[in-house]
A = this chain, B = another copy of it.
Amino acid sequence: MTDSRETGLALDPKWSAEGLITAVVTDGDSGAVLMVAHMNAEALRATVDSGEAVFWSRSRGELWRKGATSGNTMRVREVRIDCDQDAVWLIVDAAGPACHTGERSCFYRRITGDALESVA
């Protein structure tokens, strides 16, 4: 099943019931997945227009300009959108750690069987 949202060149995000889409962020140099977050329409617009990553914080219920407090901003090289337009992929240059724990990537553990193992 395909439709114009999938094959066309019109930006037409499929917002969730909460008005959000998923945002995956990868490092422009290493290709590593740095984080997964969410965007509402305002965050997506702000990201595209400013060239800096802006998300919607579900926990705080507010717009979240990445690095506004930590200084670890993310310069956006490119924003891609997936087939059904409910997820975007940001390729960025990160000024510092993406994760609030201080790790460069939020994905600093691998799953091994029933447990986790640090890869940091």
On A, residues with C-beta under 8 Å from B are: 1-2, 6-11, 22, 24, 26, 30-33, 35-36, 48, 78-84, 87-89, 99-101, 103, 106-111, 113-119
Contact = CB atoms under 8 A, between A and B. Distances in A.
Contacts of A87: 36, 106-107
B88 A111 contact: yes
A56 to B, nearest CB: 15
Contacts of A107: 80-82, 87, 89
29 contacts: A1-B100, A2-B100, A6-B101, A8-B116, A9-B117, A9-B118, A10-B115, A10-B116, A11-B111, A11-B114, A11-B115, A11-B116, A22-B22, A22-B36, A26-B33, A30-B31, A33-B33, A33-B89, A48-B111, A48-B113, A78-B110, A79-B111, A80-B111, A81-B109, A82-B107, A83-B99, A83-B101, A84-B106, A88-B111
B83 A108 contact: yes
A80 B119 contact: yes
